[in-house]
Amino acid sequence: MDTGEQRTRRRNVRERETSARGISPNLALDQLVARRQAAGESIVHLGFGESRLPVFPPLADRLAAGADRNAYGPVAGDHGVRAAVAGYFARRRLPTEAAQVLLAPGSKPLLLALQLVHPGDVLLPSPCWVTYGPQAKLAGKHAFGVPIPEECGGVPDPAALRDTIRVARGLGHDPRIVVLTSPDNPTGTYAPAHLVREICAVAEEEDLLLVSDEIYRDILHDPDAEFLSPAEVVPDRTIVVTGLSKSLALGGWRIGAARFPTTPAGERMRDDVASVASEVWSTLAGPMQSVAEYAFSEPPEIRDRLRDDARLHGTVAKAVYDIVIAAGALCRPPTGGFYVYPDFEPLRGELAGQGVTDGDSLQSRLIDHLGIAVLAGVHFGDDPKALRFRAATSMLYGRTRDEQRAAQRAMDPLSLPHVADALAGIEQGLTKLTG
Ligand SMILES: Cc1ncc(COP(=O)(O)O)c(C=O)c1O
């Protein structure tokens, strides 16, 4: 039986429109803000998903000590670094052998390689990180956005996931991969265990591969938060991808890692990704392997740094959340990572008076007239009409290294003048936007 509701759903299941051309919107906005700031404009930059914190000095020591490592070495990484990553996963209830691990220059190339080697189309939470859609396109796949549930982002709503699979198959497509992100970019939330289990059940029923992007896993705002990886529930069909770009603010050093299942299919996938690696990036740079081996071993000073920085990320994200809520937006309370994703739908009437009618006009109004740089939801695959944007709160720690260090050290980072001023700038901008 084809009910009206089913017909509406089918109309709503549309392939994500995504361009793999041009520079990623995240990077493009960052460059635009840099140009405008250099020209003297005052902008509170919340538009770039980077942890603006200094390099932890022991990491720089490892990098210098590794400078002599100029041989190519094994594609997947040396045994030492793979064993360190295996230990990292084992401490997170994921028993792992070094042979299951593959290192790469960032998690981005690993995520693309996975899409290149695994057949079938891709299901993405909507909204989701800007890169998954264009990567699917580069891999010649169709990508389908699936709405996220009320309580968090980074995972598709389980019922909507089932529907989308059915409709996509009905249209002749072959969805076989789901990408999950927890904690999530853009919503700054992590998925509760019951939702992870539900998604895993759908994956079992529908024979799907789960790619679990856990690059923000060590940035849970509540140190006692119960995080469940899908790899704990359905280990044979989950690849976990992680890296040091976010938790240790090493985006420019490009260190990523993937953990593959121990099944024959998992081993085949690892070998196929290694084959792509051997033709594209060869291996993770030797000095970076020294850094990664040290960081993934998690000596006490690294654990302390992760804990302290997670607290800073949580404090500042919560402060921005309070501001957007006070401005009248809806927003999921941030629980992980360093983002908030407000929805100004309740203020659509007021915003229309300022010519703001969709995500792009909201983004333009904020940067051009109110000095706030954010990235509209449409760039994350959200509805172009939605009045939503992502604010990357990790950009608020300061523009100089001294300011950033002060934010890391402060008992109350919100009381530091440079942080307080930036927060006041956001508050004033949003008051003008909505008032
Ligand atoms: C969800 C997510 N995955 C992966 C990445 C990229 O990480 P890497 O620097 O390891 O390529 C980002 C960076 O913004 C991200 O937000």
Q: What is the CATH number of the domain that holds 358?
A: 3.90.1150.10
- Are 323 and 412 part of one and the same domain? yes
**Over residues 368-395, mean pLDDT:** 95
Could you tell me if residue 203 is inside a domain?
Answer: yes
Q: Is 245 in the pocket of ligand 1 (CB under 6 A)?
A: yes
Among 245, 266, 298, residue at a domain's last position: 298
What is the tally of structural domains in the chain? 2
**Average pLDDT taken over every residue of the chain:** 94
Neighbours of 112 (CB within 10 A): 21
Cβ-based neighbour number of residue 73 at 10 Å: 16
Looking at residue 24, its pLDDT comes to 77
User: Of 298, 333, 357, which residue is a domain's last?
Assistant: 298
| Residue 60: inside a domain | no
Burial profile 189-201: b = 16 or more Cβ within 10 angstroms, e = fewer: bbbbeebbbbbbe
Determine, yes or no, domain membership for 169: yes
Residue range 212-255, pLDDT digits in tens? 999 999 999 999 999 999 999 999 999 999 999 999 999 999 99
- Residues 35-76 pLDDT 10s: 999 999 989 999 998 899 999 999 999 999 999 999 999 999
- Measuring CA to CA, which residue among 184, 404, 428, 396 is closest to residue 323? 428
Say if residue 4's pLDDT is above 60.
Answer: no
- 87: CA distance to ligand 1 center in Å? 22
d(CA 157, CA 10): 16
Q: Note down the domain range covering 236.
A: 65-298
Distance 186 CA to ligand 1 centre (A): 11
Domain boundary among 298, 320, 343: 298
Radius of gyration of the chain (CA): 21
What is the β-pairing status of strands 375-376 and 209-213? Answer: unpaired
**Does 158 sit in the ligand 1 pocket, CB within 6 Å?**
no
**Where does the pLDDT of residue 20 fall: very low under 50, low under 70, confident under 90, or very high at 90 and above?**
very low
CA distances from 30 to 50, 106, 107, 196, 391 (A): 10, 19, 20, 33, 13
Provide the pLDDT confidence category of residue 1 given band limits of 50, 70 and 90: very low
Does ligand 1 come within 6 angstroms of the Cβ of 186?
Answer: no
Mean pLDDT of 84-111: 98
* Per-residue model confidence as pLDDT tens digits over 290-333: 999 999 999 999 999 999 999 999 999 999 999 999 999 999 99
Q: For residue range 171-198, what is the model confidence (pLDDT) as tens digits?
A: 999 999 999 999 999 999 999 999 999 9
- Claim to verify: residue 417 and residue 317 sit in the same structural domain: yes
What distance in angstroms lies between residue 58's CA and the mean position of ligand 1's atoms? 23
